[in-house]
Structure 1
Amino acid sequence: MDLFLTLLSGLAWTIVYLEAIRLGFRQRTYAIPVAALGLNIAWEWIYAVYDLAHDPQVQAYVNLVWGLADAVILYTFFRFGRNEFPKFVARPLFTAWGVGIVVASFLIQWLFIAEFGMPGMKAAEYSAFLQNLLMSGLFIAMFVARRGSRGQSLVIAVAKWIGTLAPTILFGFLGGSLFVTGIGLLCTVFDLAYIGLLIWVKLRPRMFAEQVPALG
């Protein structure tokens, strides 16, 4: 069961990232909110490198694949993301802001490790589920900001939900962690709400201005 849930989560999140890369280049935007993306990249690279060096299990290789995919998504943010902002956000300011988010993300992950320690699972679990909840909320915020589903898809939404639900079951219900169970269930609530919004767009496309003109 543990291996199945680990592989299911790995597959689902890989689908999220591949679809985000496809949409990013096709629609010339970025498909994952940058704050959550920065935290994900920091988490994946820190734990991939550490685990591959000390205890290379399945999850370590999964993290490496995710980290490589997220690096491409980060490229789409820096390549196309400036157009999502007002004109006064010049390219140098936009780039500096994006770099700052990534640096801050690594610092946040380091603070979790400093608090809970690297050898144990608490730093990885707590940070992963909290940033997952942040991503769930930011996807909804992205939908609202873009006034529709531009740069988003049901494939991402459903795969993200499944990719979060699997470790919620593994580390929360089966692992006996009330924190993981609670945060994971909150993710499910937000993820299902986001899925509902994307279905709403498909059913009522005229209600949404999906083709928002570039802001800069």
Structure 2
Amino acid sequence: MILFLTIVSGVAWTAVYIDAIRVGFRDRSYAIPAAALGLNFAWEVLYASRAVATGISAQGLFNIVWGLADVAIVITFLKFGRAELPVWVTRRLFIGWAVLLAVTSFVVQWLFVVEFGWDDAPRYSAFLQNLLMSGLFIAMFAARAGLRGQSLLIGTAKWIGTLAPTVAFGWLANSPLILGLGGLCSVFDLAYVGLLWRARQLSRR
């Protein structure tokens, strides 16, 4: 069952990343909120490297795929992200902010490993940053006042991709923390999907 849920999560999150790349270049924007993108990229680089060094499992294989996909999403952020900021944010300030975000993300991920070890750190950090991402997606929808740089596929696949490990590591592995964080993710994810669906219906009128 754990392997099945891992595959469901892996496929769903791969769909998120592929559509984020497509939508990002289509709308000349970035489709994953910046802070969440930084944390995700750092997580995937760290644990994909760990998988290569220690042996590639199903989850390790997905980590590698996600890390490669995230490179393309980072490119959309660097290419189009400055346009989302106030005009006084120069290119130099934007790059400085991006570098600071990247360094901070890697430091945070490494601190999770130091505190919780290689077995627990990826789960705890993944669910915390996932909850952050869920909230930031709603904030991004509000800031952009519509569907630009977003899609129903991204929102729905993120929900499924988070729900599967919530069941695996929260319910089946009996972790109240993961179950609670995953449950909160579902609340925010479904709210976001509802906003996207409503906006799409209104845009067709």
Match of 2:131 in 1: 133
Shift of 1:99: 1.3
Shift of 1:26: 0.8
Shift of 1:165: 0.2
Shift of 1:203: 2.0
Shift of 1:13: 0.3
> Residues 84-95 of structure 1: matches in 2 within 5 Å?
84-95=84-95
> Residues 76-155 of structure 1: matches in 2 within 5 Å?
76-118=76-118, 121-155=119-153
Structure 2 distance, partners of 1:200, 1:91, is 35
Structure 1 distance, partners of 2:176, 2:194, is 27
Match of 1:46 in 2: 46
Q: Which runs of 5+ in 2 are unaligned?
A: none
* RMSD, aligned α-carbons: 1.1
Conserved 8 A contact 2:10-2:62 = yes
Cα deviation, 1:59-101, whole Å, max 9, x if unaligned, reads: 1110000001011100100001111111100011001101110
Structure 2 distance, partners of 1:168, 1:156, is 18
Structure 1 distance, partners of 2:55, 2:128, is 24
Structure 1 stretch displaced more, 131-140 or 53-62: 53-62
Match of 2:60 in 1: 60
Paired residue type of 1:13: W
Counting aligned pairs with the same residue, the percent is 60
For the residue of structure 1 that corresponds to 2:8, the secondary structure is: helix
Query: Which of 180, 200, 203 does residue 201 from structure 2 map onto?
Result: 203
Match of 1:175 in 2: 173
Conserved 8 A contact 2:13-2:158 = yes
Structure with higher helix content:
2
Structure 2 distance, partners of 1:18, 1:122, is 27
Paired residue type of 1:171: F
Shift of 1:205: 2.6
Structure 2 distance, partners of 1:55, 1:70, is 22
Cα deviation, 1:30-71, whole Å, max 9, x if unaligned, reads: 000010000001111101111221132111110000001011
Paired residue type of 1:124: P
Paired residue type of 2:167: I
Conserved 8 A contact 2:147-2:200 = no
